[in-house]
Structure 1
């Protein structure tokens, strides 16, 4: 379900914001473009310093903030954990969070989408935005 993003998409967002694409930023953007999970800033930092030991955690935070402010990424704060990030243009999906491992599983369900619309309609509302997070643990 997680979609890989073209590196140039992130670079374009930063350039349009008037930000130079430095070597550390390029490494961070490459990590984001190649990711297949919902990394937090520390995970991005750990991956980045393996490529370039001079990258600082503050550079990771600043870059993520810029991308978030420009709408290129979404920040998720799943219950009890650090903020995690994913590309903003991903198709709509919901999240199941494994409370034992912290794994984030993306899923879609037409039944859930229709039920949400039905509930909103019955209560006299039209959905303009929603997010579903389910927290669970693997059954034994």
Structure 2
């Protein structure tokens, strides 16, 4: 994502917005908290306040550029929106997050919604457990 994506979303191109997008794109960790983003900015020598980061993340979420997840650890994390839906596995001990796609699970979720008379508009699946390293 770049400045044109911000303009297309109806957002003004500002340095904090560009820096936050850059961090979300280049991070090895696809799920970052506002505090993670803040630490990355500080390490880069950028002076962006935590309140600004939260405001920008809220704006990005409102225009569909990012997804916000509230996993059971109580901390919100953010990831760039992508066209492909995926679900999450979360380690309850170390906090590791893995993403996965499964066509059978997706179909089953749609079948259940239909069975109960729902037209599915959105969904998310979080599976909690212990990763290999924490078992």
Query: TM-score normalised to the size of structure 1?
Result: 0.81
Is 1:15 paired with 2:7?
yes
What's the Cα RMSD here? 1.9
Aligned position for 2:61: 68
Aligned position for 2:116: 123
Aligned position for 1:57: 50
Matches within 5 A, 1:4-43: 6=1, 8=2, 11-16=3-8, 17-22=10-15, 24-36=16-28, 37-43=30-36
- Distance apart, 1:52 and its partner CA: 2.1
Q: Deviations over 1:40-99 (max 9, x none)?
A: 100011011111242221221121111111111111101123111111224101011111
Please state whether the residue corresponding to 1:134 is helix, strand or coil: strand
Query: TM-score normalised to the size of structure 2?
Result: 0.84
Contact in 1 for aligned 2:88/2:126 (Cα 8 Å): yes
Sort the Cα spacing of 1:45 and 1:127 in 2 relative to 1 into closer, same or farther, 3 A.
same
Show structure 2 runs of 5+ residues with no match.
none
Between the aligned partners of 2:34 and 2:78, the Cα distance in structure 1 is 8
Matched residues, number:
131
Which of these residues, 36, 45, 48, is aligned with residue 41 of structure 2?
48
Contact in 1 for aligned 2:41/2:47 (Cα 8 Å): no
Between the aligned partners of 2:125 and 2:99, the Cα distance in structure 1 is 10
Between the aligned partners of 2:55 and 2:75, the Cα distance in structure 1 is 16
